[in-house]
């Protein structure tokens, strides 16, 4: 009887291992297909940045932190602010829902974002993963979206700093043509006024936002990427 049990286990182990490998490969294929099918390379978003965003999203979803893991928003602060460097991607349906401008913090840099902070009053952007929350109407910002920074030491002071997604006239192509670059915020990711509401209504209520820059200190220390 013992020999029979051992024989059955011997037959089952490869099948289980193959199932796990197949599931891993399937998930990886889905991510590859999304990047390719949506033609994200043509928009300026690199495969590496996309993969990092999905990696963090998967970990947040595994930990039951997201209400809607099908949508990911990426603000790629490695690109010039004069590029459309904000991406809202539907991973389930493999669609690029929005691709537009997004401004960074006043003390983070001019055309390029170079310096980041989690400190209140720094007027700098904060890197890392956020979870979107609810819509608000601010007295100065108007229609906006609150976001929760979930990476300790990098963006977990977002609420205290009142970092939200909102719009401003300085986050438009018209402003770029007049001034040579986008304007800058107090640390918030700021959108063009015409796309602010539709983007917020798409990404609200528990989706993943990833603000990226190739900062060694962040990439090496992020608990969601390591």
In a domain, 9, yes or no: no
Domain extent at residue 170: 38-221
Contact, 182 vs 25, CB < 8 A?
A: no
Number of H helices, E strands in the chain: 5, 8
Say what the pLDDT of residue 138 is.
86
76 located within any domain? yes
Query: What is the reported pTM?
Result: 0.87
Let me know if residue 97 belongs to a domain: yes
Using an 8 Å Cβ cutoff, are 155 and 149 in contact? yes
Asked if the structure places residue 199 within a domain, the reply is: yes
Q: Is residue 175 part of a domain?
A: yes
Mean pLDDT of the chain: 90
Q: Taking the alpha carbons of 21, 24, 28, 30 in that order, is the dihedral positive or negative?
A: positive
Residues 52-91: pLDDT tens digits? 999 999 999 999 999 999 999 999 999 999 999 999 999 9
The answer to whether residue 3 is domain-embedded is no
Q: Which residue has the tokens 């979803």?
A: 61
- pLDDT at 1 exceeding the cut of 90: no
User: What is the sign, positive or negative, of the torsion defined by CA atoms of 150, 219, 39, 172?
Assistant: positive
- 25 versus 73: which is more confidently predicted? 73
**Residue 206: Cβ within 10 Å count:** 17
Please, which pLDDT band fits residue 29 given cuts at 50, 70 and 90?
low
Q: How confident is the model at residue 31 (pLDDT cuts 50, 70, 90)?
A: low
CATH number of the CATH domain containing 200: 2.40.440.10
Number of domain units in the chain: 1
Q: Is residue 16 domain-resident? A: no
pLDDT of residue 50 exceeding 60: yes
């Amino acid at each position: 009887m013992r020999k029979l049990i051992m024989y059955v286990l011997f037959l089952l182990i490869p099948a289980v291992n193959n199932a796990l490998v197949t599931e891993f490969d399937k998930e990886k294929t889905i991510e590859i297909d999304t990047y390719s099918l949506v033609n994200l390379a043509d928009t300026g978003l690199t495969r590496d940045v996309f993969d990092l965003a999905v990696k963090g999203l998967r970990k947040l979803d595994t930990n039951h932190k997201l209400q809607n893991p099908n949508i990911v928003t990426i603000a790629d602060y490695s690109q010039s602010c004069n590029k459309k460097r904000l991406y809202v991607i539907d991973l389930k349906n493999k669609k690029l829902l929005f691709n537009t401008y997004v401004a960074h913090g006043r003390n983070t840099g001019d055309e390029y974002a170079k310096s980041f902070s989690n400190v209140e009053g720094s007027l700098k952007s904060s890197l890392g993963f956020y979870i979107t929350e609810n819509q608000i109407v601010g007295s100065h910002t108007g229609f906006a979206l609150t976001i929760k920074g979930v990476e300790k030491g990098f963006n977990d002071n977002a609420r205290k700093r009142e970092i939200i997604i909102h719009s401003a006239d300085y986050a438009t192509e018209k402003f770029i043509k007049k001034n040579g670059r986008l304007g800058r915020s107090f640390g918030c990711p700021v959108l063009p006024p015409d796309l602010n509401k539709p983007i917020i209504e798409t990404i609200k209520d528990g989706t993943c936002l990833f603000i990226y820059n190739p900062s060694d200190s962040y990439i090496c220390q992020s608990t969601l990427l390591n």
